[in-house]
Amino acid sequence: MSLVLALMTSGCTFDQIKIITGCKQDSMHEMIYQTFGKSADVYENIRKYLNDEQCLRMWLMISKLNSEFGLKLFKKILYPVFICIFTYASLLFFKMTLLHRVQTMFAIESNLTVISFNVTIIVLTMVYVIAVIVLVLMKIVLNDSNTRNFFYQWLHTRCKDNLLTVYTTGLFSRMLKECIKSGISTQKSLEMLRKTSDYPFIAFLAGNCLGKLTEGNSFNDSISDIETDSSFKFYMQMGFYEHNVITQLDNYCEFNSEYLDFKLKRLIDYFNIFVYFQFSLSVILLYQVIQIPMSIIGSML
């Protein structure tokens, strides 16, 4: 995290940051530009609508959500991925070394346990190959704007509150909240968000909402029709009803962090089921294969 974001995180105001860093206005722009790093184009876009302090506050919220989500995902998936890879590698190692020797030494050609062992390795290999192919295809799909937007819509249609939708809505709500707090118009807010090239799904949502506004729909109806999670629509409806959208957006942002944790945990739980099933099956098969020579020796005595 850069010095500017670190100071904002610690509670410093924008004026205090200027004093601490000793930056003049031009130097401050340069420091903020460096803060955005590879996303400097985003800064150039949003500073047309927001002042530097608002730009930084928006970027701080986005960076916080991204870093927290990335760190939680890494921590939760690291161990099961290790177990998965270790188990599969152990099966392959056993097949290429010990199993071959056992078959040669005891002249075992067809045995139900050996067949089950080989079939398990083939099935697991197919699963991992398919998983890699799917990841490569997703990478290709997400690189093209048309297929990316189609994928987002298709996934939202199949499961409205999927992890991608909840994550994208969280980013969208945080950026929208800062725009509304700054006092710029709804249309300008959506125009700004539509140009956030580093976050194409946010640009997609903003473009859809802006399109519905230009068709003559109210902001309330437009927000309700775009591809966000159902909780966001509920909080926005409450905000319109109570004439306090900013407060409800604050409430939603807090809820979104917890909801995102829940969605991530459930996804990891599904993956853990597969991992532990693979591990248990591998242990059983390895034990049965090891028992083969012992059974043969026992029958010979």
Q: How many CA atoms lie within 13 A of 242 on its CB side?
A: 12
The dihedral region occupied by 216, where left means phi > 0, alpha psi between -120 and 50, and beta the remainder, is: left
Q: What is the pLDDT of residue 2?
A: 54
Say if residues 235 and 249 touch (Cβ distance below 8 Å). Answer: yes
Helices 145-158 and 200-214: angle between axes, nearest 10 degrees: 80
Specify the DSSP element, H or E, that contains 84: helix 52-94
User: How many angstroms from the chain centroid is the CA of residue 13?
Assistant: 31
Mean pLDDT of the chain: 80
Q: What is the pLDDT of residue 300?
A: 59
Tokens 């409806």 label which residue?
237
CA distance 167 to 292: 51
User: How many angstroms from the chain centroid is the CA of residue 212?
Assistant: 28
Q: What is the pLDDT of residue 104?
A: 66
Domain locations along the chain = 74-301
Cβ neighbours of residue 108 closer than 8 Å, sequence gap 6 or more:
102, 114, 292
* Structure confidence by residue, pLDDT tens digits, 77-110: 889 999 989 998 988 888 887 777 766 666 565 5
Neighbours of 154 (CB within 10 A): 10
CA distance 285 to 14: 63
Cβ neighbours of residue 226 closer than 8 Å, sequence gap 6 or more:
205, 208, 209, 212
Cβ neighbours of residue 50 closer than 8 Å, sequence gap 6 or more:
58, 178, 179, 182, 184, 192
- Between the alpha carbon of residue 52 and those of residues 20, 165, 177, 189, the distances in Å are 16, 29, 16, 16
- Between the alpha carbon of residue 141 and those of residues 85, 127, 146, the distances in Å are 27, 21, 9
CA distance 269 to 80: 10
Give me the percent of the chain exceeding a pLDDT of 90: 14
For the chain, the straight-line distance linking the first and the last C-alpha, in angstroms and rounded, comes to 71
Instruction: Answer with the residue of higher pLDDT: 173 or 44.
Output: 173
48-53-58 Cα angle (round to 5): 80
Instruction: Answer with the residue of higher pLDDT: 63 or 252.
Output: 252
Buried b (16+ CB within 10 A) or exposed e, 158-173: eeeebbebbbbbbbbb
Say if residues 179 and 193 touch (Cβ distance below 8 Å). Answer: yes
Give me the percent of the chain exceeding a pLDDT of 70: 79
CA distance 114 to 125: 17
Specify the DSSP element, H or E, that contains 126: helix 112-143
* Structure confidence by residue, pLDDT tens digits, 256-277: 989 989 998 999 999 999 999 9
Q: pTM for the whole thing?
A: 0.78
**pLDDT(26) > 50:** no
**pLDDT(15) > 60:** no
Q: Any idea which of 107-111, 141-145, 155-159, 171-175 has the lowest mean pLDDT?
A: 107-111
